[in-house]
Amino acid sequence: MRDVYFVLSPNVLLLDLAGPADALRLAGLRGADFRLHYVGASEAVDTSLGLPLGGLAPLPDQLPEGAVVVAPGSTPSIEAYARPEARRIVAWLAERRRQPGVRWAGVCSGSLLLAEAGVFDGRACTSHHTLLERLRALAPAARVQENRVFVADGPCYSSAGITAGIDLALHLIADLADPAIARAVAREMVVYFRRSPQDPELSPWLAWRNHLHPALHRAQDLICADPVRDWPLDELAAKVHVSARHLSRLFRDQAGVSAHDYHRALRLALAQQWRSAGLGKEKAALSAGFSSARQMSRAAAAHD
């Protein structure tokens, strides 16, 4: 079980909290071992919508191994973070920032709290575009990134404004649980895995899923579940109850990639995983479904 602590400051932005928290909750319903905690420097906090939240647990004296600490943003943050409760949160973060095995995540202006506590020192980070200069001032030892939906650097994560917290939560689910669970949560929430030239490149297990077509998702799920086997287009189409010609068109128009290229990317990713686990090139290629290391090299060249 992985404990996730949402640290709530005064005037917390409800969507900064509810978006990531609900993504993690849905992941838990699909088998991810997340246990959510809501903590703060006071028993209750005001929120951006005027709806108070009560029943918060106190800031824990100790964080368990593997814990994730999430700091949702507040608004207006310059006022909220001057309040005594926020000052106690910064001190609490600073005391624990070097604890091994803990991951830290800032959503929107929540990154400012982590920055002030020194969590991002030596790391890349980001925040809402209107807050980047404040982030630089609070964390001169950090590498502040612009035009990013979210940034992941070692145990530190940060996202741009508000709804980007959901993108960050999906990334955490994929990292800490299973990319398939992250895909399922995204579909349940009817959100995309965002991509732009400034985003970190998505894993092939997550890429090309920015569509809402159920038959194509089923086809992609089948390939993801067993990328080692061959998937003739006719057989794949029959399993999702469309024609091969229509499925080929769906891959091209909805996902922006051919079925063949999609399958090849997954096999290459699987081979890389086997290589990272210590297998030689030939064994990694065979374990990923390629006929030889030479075929895998040709596939990698074509993929590039």
Instruction: Read off the pLDDT of residues 244-283 as tens digits, 9 standing for 90 and up.
Output: 999 999 999 999 999 999 999 999 999 998 998 889 999 9
What is the DSSP track for 162-179?
Answer: TTHHHHHHHHHHHHHT-H
pLDDT band at 202 (very low <50, low <70, confident <90, very high): low
Distances (CA, A) of 10 to 37, 74, 117, 137, 242: 17, 7, 17, 22, 52
Query: Count of CB atoms within 10 A of residue 201's CB?
Result: 8
Put simply, whether the predicted model's pTM sits higher than 0.85 gets the answer no
| pLDDT, position 276 | 82
pLDDT at 199: 53
pLDDT above 50 (res 117)? yes
Domains and their CATH numbers in the chain? 2-189 (3.40.50.880), 214-302 (1.10.10.60)
